[in-house]
Structure 1
Amino acid sequence: MTADHNGTKVTHRRYIPYSHAHYGGNLVDGAYGLGMFGDVATELCILTDGDEGLFASYADVQFLAPVRAGDVVEATAVVVRTGRRSRTVEFTLTVVCRADPERGDSAAQVLAEPIVATTATGTVVVP
């Protein structure tokens, strides 16, 4: 019988360096967040199943707000369905801090209201 891992959650927080800016306005490409989703999915599989697992697919990805160099983001993964070998996972990428160049070159602020930048649903498979 498979253990029920529903509700198990992993969060990673990361500063996005300016070297990752890909577009005008210091925008970072959407693949950056998807890479973070892969990282939290890996830790989630290790936590729940003792194996890194494999990312099988995304069912839905929504890019809701821009992510910029100088942001601090949180990527969160939550198991919402536990199958025999698969896990359905909901992902959220949230901007929690943002550079504030109007105040100075190195100024930044913690956002009073974090910005949900990307959401996704994916499937991981474990042996």
Structure 2
Amino acid sequence: MSLYEGFSVTHRRYVPHSHARRGGGLVDPAFPLSLFGEVAAELLIRSDGDEGLFDGYTSVELPAPVQVGDVVEADATLVRIGNRAREVEFEARVVCRAAPLRGPTAADVLEPPLVVARARGTLVVPTPAD
């Protein structure tokens, strides 16, 4: 297990066209938050041997939208360790984006990646069994 401040986990996911919820192929703004839940679960499994529970967010920013055809990378980084509470910072970035004007399957690698969400939250792990 890896219980130390600065420990992080990263996931990547392609956003299929079936995720379009808004005009222009925009994805539900809650999409990055669902990624944060997934990456948080792996972080706690690796750090504490348990998925734990999400207690809540203390901040959430959505500076740019996610679009269908994006490849989104989500990080969770452990920033504070309490007895049972784990404070975690999250960031989601688009690392690849569809380029439909060049063709139906064209896409670009974004350099630098586009930040689409940042958050900070608290997760709780159960008390170890005696």
TM-score w.r.t. length of structure 2: 0.94
Q: Which residue of 1 aligns with 2:15?
A: 16
Q: Which residue of 1 aligns with 2:105?
A: 106
Rounded Cα–Cα distance in structure 2 between residues aligned with 1:4 and 1:77: 13
Q: Which residue of 1 aligns with 2:89?
A: 90
TM-score w.r.t. length of structure 1: 0.96
Count of aligned pairs:
125
Rounded Cα–Cα distance in structure 2 between residues aligned with 1:18 and 1:95: 15
Q: Which consecutive residues of structure 1, in runs of 5 or more, have no partner in the other structure?
A: none
Q: Which consecutive residues of structure 2, in runs of 5 or more, have no partner in the other structure?
A: none
Q: Which residue of 1 aligns with 2:125?
A: 126
Paired AA for residue 116 in structure 2:
A
Rounded Cα–Cα distance in structure 2 between residues aligned with 1:48 and 1:90: 15
Q: CA RMSD in A?
A: 1.0
Where do residues 58-77 of structure 1 align in structure 2 (5 Å cutoff)?
58-77=57-76
- The 4+ residue runs of structure 1 with deviation greater than 2 A are none
Rounded Cα–Cα distance in structure 2 between residues aligned with 1:47 and 1:92: 19
SS at match of 2:6: coil
How many Å apart are 1:59 and its aligned residue?
0.3
| Kept in 1: contact 2:9–2:76 (CA 8 A) | yes
Paired AA for residue 32 in structure 2:
G
Paired AA for residue 67 in structure 2:
R
